[in-house]
Amino acid sequence: MLTDQEVEDAPNTGKPYKIYDGKGLHVFVSHRGSKFWRLKYRIGGKERLLSIGSTSLFTVEEARDKAASTKKLLAEGIDPAVMKREIQAARADSAIDESKGPAYKLTEKDKALADYIVDQMAARFGLTAGPF
């Protein structure tokens, strides 16, 4: 089991490597020294990799909590990577680029409803709709 200090002290070796925490959770250290939380899991007999976020954003405990919520999704038969893409797509659809002008005008009520639906979806699965 990793500690926050071990993650912080991980050296930049010039080559990418992983520091394992357990149950598929690990820190990926890139060749440039960036550190990211990742979770390796299997669904449908295929191995998948989910990026949780930077180690500067999440402590070890927070990363473990995210991994646990992801495992709950897997137990329900939901692919967390697909869920993540759907949430991001819903967020992108609800955001309007005012500089280009939308093809149609959304009312404030429509925008609020879209944001509410995305937030409810994210809350149901224990995820944030921001950076993962």
- Which pLDDT belongs to residue 28? 97
- pLDDT over 60 at 24, yes or no: yes
CATH class of 1-59: alpha beta
- pLDDT over 50 at 53, yes or no: yes
Which tens digits make up the pLDDT trace of 89-126?
A: 877 776 655 445 555 666 787 777 778 777 777 777 76
Domain boundaries, the chain: 1-59, 79-126
Under the banding of pLDDT at 50, 70 and 90, the label for residue 22 is: very high
- Which pLDDT belongs to residue 99? 47
User: C-alpha angle 117/56/125, rounded to 5°?
Assistant: 25
- Which pLDDT belongs to residue 95? 66
C-alpha pair distances (Å), 62 with each of 50, 65, 67, 127: 15, 5, 9, 12
Rounded (10°) CA dihedral 78, 84, 90, 93: -140
pTM of the model as a whole? 0.68
Which tens digits make up the pLDDT trace of 60-95?
A: 999 999 999 999 889 888 888 888 888 888 777 766
